[in-house]
Amino acid sequence: MDLRADFLVIGSGIAGLRAALSLAEAGEVVILTKSDPGESNTGYAQGGIAAAIGADDSPELHARDTIAAGDGLCVPEAVDRLVHDGPRDVRELLDWGAAFDRDADGRPSLGREAAHSVRRVLHARDATGREITRLLWARVSACARIRLLDDAGATELSIEDGACTGVRFVRGAVDVGTATARRTLLATGGAGQVFRETTNPAVATGDGIAMAARAGARLTDLEFVQFHPTVLNVEGAPRFLLSEALRGEGARLVNEAGEAFMTRDDPAGDLAPRDVVARAIVREVERTGTPVYLTLAHLDADFVTRRFPTIARACAHAGFNLARDRIPVSPAAHYLMGGVATDLDARTSIPGLFAAGEVACTGVHGANRLASNSLLEGLVFGARAAAAMKAAPQPAALMVGELIDVRLPGRASAAVPTAYEVRDLMWRSVGLLRIARGLEAASAQLDAWLAACEAAGGARRCDAELRRTTTLVTVGWFIARAALRRHESRGAHFRADFPARDDLHWSKHVSDVLHT
Ligand SMILES: Cc1cc2nc3c(=O)[nH]c(=O)nc-3n(C[C@H](O)[C@H](O)[C@H](O)COP(=O)(O)OP(=O)(O)OC[C@H]3O[C@@H](n4cnc5c(N)ncnc54)[C@H](O)[C@@H]3O)c2cc1C
């Protein structure tokens, strides 16, 4: 199957759908998405979307909180765009009919989340992503100039004379096709599946990062992986996210003895930044040898079940009453701050190739993302990507920061691993607490596995399992290398052997470019 369009969008989350709606004003659009259209990180987002629309808020205050969470590594111009375009783009969603919760006076009700200094999170109960997906999907479906192909996984970027001209893709196991366009947008989302414990759905394997890397695009800041502190920790049950909005509404973290331990680690207590809370949980579990819990028993039970119906249902399914019981929690990989390097208009280092949303790295989140800023990022930079893609041809983006040339490892010295082996290694050695010896061993193992995957045909083969494993190994390989070389702790990247932030040497972004 060979498809042609003016614009090609890979992925149907908030970034891809928002971009497609604007692109359709200027030409024919094809969206490829590798599963059902609604299967994306966006579809699972709970807490909400941040925007400075409250009477006590301003873009400047939102920028200040974003930059504080980013721990010295946010790109100020990117933050500026996020917080200034954000209110306009969120109001557009409201105009389109987004069913966000409202106060008694009819204004959008604003939730509080960790490290936000005011209430600024618009939400649709605790299933905000589902509502945004419904809304955008309804508009995309009604647009005659947009064609969406589901179950269509892009496997490789097509590059001619140094520029991107589209992708190769598979449908099911056999149907290999090409999609050709003047401009291509990667909106493939994150890579949580690289880790054994994750909040991300099965589609989040970092495909866009792996494809862009193989085409020679610049990748940046891949060491910065956010681990969410609170997922349901029940043996054998999925790692269901227990949104930060719970703590925003008063939920507390307690140990087995019922002590609220968070104030020992940070004056902000339960509303400290995610990395601080996640590490405090790990330390408390190590200290006591018993689990850590989230409790809402001191809050009004009616309010809890009305405000968090989806989470209450998931807890009930696992045998817990959210309003009454202590819920066992632990951290899990949640969000990738790094990604395909882009400028403020989503241009990558390859002409014709754009990237927006979680797959991209504009530097807007720095070393740590502020809660509820990623839906906003997808919305704002999805729209900005579309504007740039519609404009006259432009050169590839110019980007700053240190650049490292990397090569694929040599001869295969190991068998092709299972996906579980890769995810387990990443969780144990490249997870929340990192140290040189673990990172070195993991990098060596990933070298061997990547060589084995390449020798077996890698991501280009029609074998779905091999493709998935190769992608996980490739993305894990980049993350481990980046984590090993950053000799400091900053934001979500914590090195037990370099526990302090080192602004003298590491106040910088580092990029990789792969030469095959
Ligand atoms: C459980 C959970 C809760 C969250 N809660 C919040 C929240 O409350 N607020 C907030 O701001 N953020 C939240 N986040 C993060 C946020 O949801 C994501 O960062 C954001 O939705 C990413 O949007 P995106 O459009 O970039 O990617 P996604 O929404 O992940 O979409 C990626 C799309 O690309 C497709 N795709 C992937 N690979 C390929 C391929 N090879 N070929 C074709 N298609 C492909 C996928 O199928 C999917 O359709 C949450 C994330 C999770 C997992």
14 lines ligand 1 (CB under 6 A): yes
Sign of the Cα pseudo-torsion (150, 156, 160, 162, in order): positive
Question: Which is nearest to 512 in space by CA: 401, 355, 411, 430?
Answer: 401
pLDDT of residue 413: 78
Q: What is the pTM of this model?
A: 0.96
344 lines ligand 1 (CB under 6 A): no
Count H helices, E strands: the chain? Answer: 16, 19
Q: Go through 23-51 and write b for each residue having 16 or more CB atoms within 10 A of its CB, e for each that does not.
A: bbeeebbbbbbbeebbbbbbbbbbbbbbb
Ligand 1, residue 375: give the atom nearest the CA: 11
11 lines ligand 1 (CB under 6 A): yes
Ligand 1 centre distance from Cα of residue 9 (Å) = 14
Domain 232-333 falls under CATH 3.30.70.260: no
What's the chain's Rg over C-alpha atoms? 22
Ligand 1, residue 48: give the atom nearest the CA: 8
Ligand 1 centre distance from Cα of residue 191 (Å) = 9
pLDDT of residue 173: 72
pLDDT of residue 245: 86
Ligand 1 centre distance from Cα of residue 43 (Å) = 7
- The residue annotated as part of the active site, out of 81, 218, 274, 486, is 274
Angle between helices 207-214 and 464-485 (to 10 degrees): 80
Ligand 1 centre distance from Cα of residue 374 (Å) = 9
358 lines ligand 1 (CB under 6 A): yes
Top mutation candidate among 40, 49, 133 for ligand 1, by most atoms within 8 Å of CB: 40
Q: Whose CA is nearest to atom 53 of ligand 1?
A: 200
Q: What is the pLDDT along the chain (516 residues), one digit of tens a residue?
A: 899 999 999 999 999 999 999 999 999 999 999 999 999 999 999 989 999 999 999 999 999 999 999 999 999 999 999 999 999 999 999 999 999 999 999 999 999 888 899 999 999 999 999 999 999 999 999 999 999 999 999 999 999 999 999 999 999 777 789 999 999 999 999 999 999 999 999 999 999 999 999 999 999 999 999 999 999 999 888 889 998 889 989 999 999 999 999 988 788 899 888 888 999 999 999 999 999 999 999 999 999 999 999 999 999 999 999 999 999 999 999 999 999 999 999 999 999 999 999 999 999 999 999 999 999 999 999 999 999 999 977 666 667 679 999 998 887 778 999 999 999 999 999 999 999 999 999 999 999 999 999 999 887 667 889 999 999 999 999 999 999 999 999 999 999 999 999 999 999 999 999 998
DSSP-derived secondary structure letter, 341: E
189 lines ligand 1 (CB under 6 A): yes
66 lines ligand 1 (CB under 6 A): no
Q: Whose CA is nearest to atom 17 of ligand 1?
A: 42
Q: What is the spatial distance between Cα 203 and Cα 442, in angstroms, rounded to a whole number?
A: 24
Answer whether 498's CB lies under 8 Å from 506's CB.
no
Top mutation candidate among 8, 93, 374, 472 for ligand 1, by most atoms within 8 Å of CB: 374
Ligand 1 centre distance from Cα of residue 228 (Å) = 15
Ligand 1 centre distance from Cα of residue 465 (Å) = 21
CATH of the domain spanning 1-224+337-407, picked from 3.50.50.60, 3.40.50.720, 3.40.50.300, 3.60.10.10: 3.50.50.60
DSSP three-state, residue 260: coil
Q: What is the spatial distance between Cα 352 and Cα 180, in angstroms, rounded to a whole number?
A: 11
Q: What is the spatial distance between Cα 101 and Cα 217, in angstroms, rounded to a whole number?
A: 41
The domain spans of the chain are 1-224+337-407, 232-333, 408-515
Amino acid identity, residue 131? E
- Residue 174 phi, psi (nearest 5): -120, -30
Give the tokens for residue 387: 């504007």
Active-site residue 274, yes or no?
yes
The three state secondary structure string of 87-119 is HHHHHHHHHCCCCCCECCCCCECEECCCCCCCC
375 lines ligand 1 (CB under 6 A): yes
Residue with tokens 């020679």: 216
DSSP three-state, residue 455: helix
CATH of the domain spanning 408-515, picked from 1.20.58.100, 3.40.50.720, 1.20.1250.20, 3.10.20.30: 1.20.58.100
Q: Tell me which H or E stretch contains 146.
A: strand 146-149
207 lines ligand 1 (CB under 6 A): yes
257: burial class by Cβ within 10 Å (0-12, 13-18, 19+)?
Answer: exposed
Q: What is the spatial distance between Cα 242 and Cα 126, in angstroms, rounded to a whole number?
A: 10
Ligand 1 centre distance from Cα of residue 359 (Å) = 9
170 lines ligand 1 (CB under 6 A): no
pLDDT of residue 398: 65
pLDDT tens column, 240-268: 999 888 998 999 999 999 999 998 878 88
107: burial class by Cβ within 10 Å (0-12, 13-18, 19+)?
Answer: exposed
pLDDT tens column, 404-423: 999 988 877 789 999 999 99
Ligand 1, residue 190: give the atom nearest the CA: 30
Answer whether 172's CB lies under 8 Å from 35's CB.
no
